[in-house]
Amino acid sequence: MTRTTIQTTAIRPFQVSIPEAELTDLRNRIYATRWPEKETVSDQSQGTQLATMQELARYWANEYDWRKIEAKINAVPHFLTELDGLDIHFIHVRSKHANAMPILIAHGWPGSIIEQMKLIEPLTDPTAHGGSESDAFHVVIPSMPGYGFSGKPTATGWDPERIARAYGELMTRLGYEKYVAQGGDWGAIVVDAMGVQEPKGLLGIHTNMAKVIPPEVDAAIWSGNPLPPGLSDEEKKACDQVRENKFYYAFFMGTRPQSLTGLADSPVGLAAFMLDHDWKSLALISRSFAGVQEGLTRDDVLDNITLFWLTNSAISAARIYWENKSSFFAVQGVKLPVAVSVFPDELFEAPKSWTEKAYPNLIHYNRLPRGGHFAAWEQPEFMTSEIRAGLRSLR
């Protein structure tokens, strides 16, 4: 084996240690924020509201403690390995149960490993979290290229399909001969691509953002043209949900990511942009900073934003939108077994009629009573039970 091969296939331990000077600089930048005037409407129609941002900044600078989440991050095993020429960071926690099923869990934007960390203990140690030994998983959570502690691509080409191939290689490198994959947001798009590619060992996937919209319907949604005739009320509702979210952030990052340089300079600017993902998530987060205990806490939100800030990954993370050339929600042709969980506050609620056609080997479909786009983060109990139930038949 050559020295180069040893280097590129090595799996190296990793820990997080942010210098105190960087945290001091962050607080000073928050204090120095130059604020805009208040929005001229009483709702979120102009974006993240000033009152939300000023309370977020107050808490971030004066009360938030990064060291708490840093300790939680370092409490689980982290690693780096080079995949397709780029260092990829990942969490890898093996269950104590011998027959545990390996699972790769993929995040999206503006998410990170923090989004899925609440799943680690209930999946790896189910007997301590309401499950049985037969529910156990070995958990692998990679940081997407350009995100968190993964390397930042210096050339083009890291689209979802390439990430999918890298993730398949990661599971092979870890010695897993059979495994499953789960994803939401870009993670859903990546694991859907894995389902199309069918890397060796992949038994099936679980998604909470199913790619099920028929191509002709998808084209009509994005073009603004009339929808095709014959859609059911449930299907029309899904179309309306996609259209009402508008996805302005996606269009901007998909065409001009480098013009977002200001996000690398202003932590409050970064936070305002990251919060405005979809109107239901923004409303939930805004309520958390208004003192409502619901779903995500203030620390949850700031843990994720602070990770983006400290790794200076706003622009490198945005580029996946520029790299992507396929539809976010259209059918891709997955033939492997697929489990689908539908949360009511997702970007759209995938109709069962479309889901059955998109995934001919559908093994699970369930609608949950609450939860939104960041379901693993916001509703980890529901997500845990869905992963267990949805993938049980593949054991």
**Domain segments of the chain as ranges:** 6-394
Nearest to 375 by CA among 126, 206, 208: 208
Q: What pLDDT does 212 receive?
A: 98
Q: By CB neighbour count within 10 A (0-12 exposed, 13-18 middle, 19+ buried), where does 188 fall?
A: buried
Among the listed residues 290, 311, 288, the one whose alpha carbon sits nearest the alpha carbon of residue 301:
288
The DSSP line for 136-177 is -EEEEEEPPTTSTTSPPPSSS---HHHHHHHHHHHHHHTT-S
Per-residue pLDDT 10s for the chain (395 aa) are: 333 444 578 999 999 999 999 999 999 999 999 999 999 999 999 999 999 999 999 999 999 999 999 999 999 999 999 999 999 999 999 999 999 999 999 999 999 999 999 999 999 999 999 999 999 999 999 999 999 999 999 999 999 999 999 999 999 999 999 999 999 999 999 999 999 999 999 999 999 999 999 999 999 999 999 999 999 999 999 999 999 988 999 999 999 999 999 999 999 999 999 999 999 999 999 999 999 988 899 999 999 999 999 999 999 999 999 999 999 999 999 999 999 999 999 999 999 999 999 999 999 999 999 999 999 999 999 999 999 999 999 99
What architecture is domain 6-394? 3-Layer(aba) Sandwich (3.40)
The whole model's pTM is what? 0.96
- Contact between 349 and 335 under an 8 Å Cβ cutoff? The reply is no
Query: Catalytic residue numbers?
Result: 185, 321, 373
Q: Residue 35: helix, strand or coil by DSSP?
A: coil
- Name the DSSP letter for residue 39: P
Where helices occur in the chain by DSSP H, the ranges are: 3-9, 20-31, 50-62, 66-74, 113-116, 120-124, 160-173, 186-197, 215-223, 233-245, 248-255, 267-275, 279-289, 298-310, 314-323, 352-358, 375-378, 380-391
Q: Is 40 exposed, middle or buried (0-12, 13-18, 19+ CB in 10 A)?
A: exposed
